[in-house]
Amino acid sequence: MYGISIREPGGPEVLEWTEQPDPEPGSGEVVLDVVAAGVNRADVMQRQGNYPPPPGAPELPGLECSGRVSAVGPGVSGWNVGDLACALLAGGGYAQKVAVPAPQLLPIPDGVSLTDAGALPEVACTVWSNVVLLGGLRSGQTFLVHGASGGIGTHAIQVGKALGATVLATAGHEDRLRICRDLGADHAIDYHGDLVEEVKGATDGHGADLILDHIGAKNLDANLDSLAPDGRMTIIGLMGGAKAELNLAKLLMRRLSVGATSLRAREVGGPHGKGAIVAAVRTDLWPLVESGRVRPVIHERIPVQEAARAHELMDAGGVVGKLLLVVREEADVL
């Protein structure tokens, strides 16, 4: 098979379409013939040398994909050769084939094409695990999404609205603010302004009950000041730095909670493993996707051999929703 390898840490030009050994399914695994793979910020970090794959994971980038099951390993039940699926991966999605633990497979939701389903697993599992399983978002609460025009953000806006929350979304340009409103955000906030004042004004002084943040240190103080009493914040990225001074008195006085999670290095099994998250997504989020209340937002579909161009777009900023690398045509597996 062929896949996108990283020649050395660096810019998009280090991504190369090279021959790779065919994966074999281990115990509890299947092999997917990949149709499409989503492009995520973590892939860019891996290309730059800042986010190596966890032990045992494929060296090729790609944390989600869609395709057709072409081989089934021992100990797998519920999946057969020929089944169509999308999958959460620890790596390897930028390739013609990838081996996947069976608990990380999801059926293709009704109403979503096999290709576009490749953009769902990573964002769906990230958002559901942080917003619902950890953050406990409920109907009637106020939910603040940072960087809301990106892949995670466009998905989180829709999930928040589907759950009955009032959604506040931050973005940096008027066209992206408009996209956030079109996706259902009740208030779109320019992040160049005063976040605390904007949030307080939009919530009649109450603040946000839950904040989903991928900026990290740069946003920490403003985020805490934007939370309502008993508010929660989940941190899923560190684009604005990893270190900041935390005033614990702010947490104590207003009973605030700060959590931080990552998905890629989790074990497959266990109550907090990827399998449990995927199962919750299948049971509780997939019906929202199939009803049309939550849909993948695709910026562009790009041939996998042009992965460098996809990473150039990521580096430049301005991608709305997800970029998809198309590995083969759907007709080739149907």
Tens of pLDDT, residues 154-168: 999 999 999 999 999
Q: Does domain 2-120+265-332 have CATH number 3.90.180.10?
A: yes
pLDDT band for position 217 (50/70/90)?
Answer: confident
Of the CATH numbers 3.40.50.1370, 3.40.50.720, 1.10.10.10, 2.40.30.10, which one belongs to the domain with range 124-260? 3.40.50.720
Say which residues have a Cβ less than 8 Å from residue 114's Cβ, sequence separation at least 6.
35, 36, 66, 67, 84, 108, 330, 333, 334
Share of residues in the chain with pLDDT > 70 (%): 100
Give the domain ranges of the chain. Answer: 2-120+265-332, 124-260
pLDDT band for position 118 (50/70/90)?
Answer: very high
pLDDT on residue 15: 98
pLDDT on residue 129: 97
For residues 334 and 331, give the distance between their C-alpha atoms in angstroms, rounded to a whole number. 5
pLDDT on residue 334: 82
First to last CA, the chain: 19
| Residue 283, burial from CB neighbour count under 10 angstroms (0-12, 13-18, 19+) | exposed
Residue 124 token pair: 């769906």
More confident: 34 or 334: 34
How much is the CA Rg of the chain, to the nearest whole Å?
20
Following CA atoms 173, 179, 183, 186 in sequence, which dihedral angle do they give, to the nearest 10 degrees? 40
Instruction: Summarize the chain as % helix, strand, coil (round to 5).
Output: 35, 25, 40
Distances (CA, A) of 303 to 31, 133, 233, 268, 286: 21, 35, 37, 30, 27
Q: Is the pLDDT of residue 66 over 90?
A: yes
Interval 280-319: pLDDT, tens: 999 999 999 999 999 999 999 999 999 999 999 999 999 9
Q: Is the pLDDT of residue 238 over 90?
A: no
Compute the mean pLDDT over every residue in the chain, rounded to the nearest whole number: 96
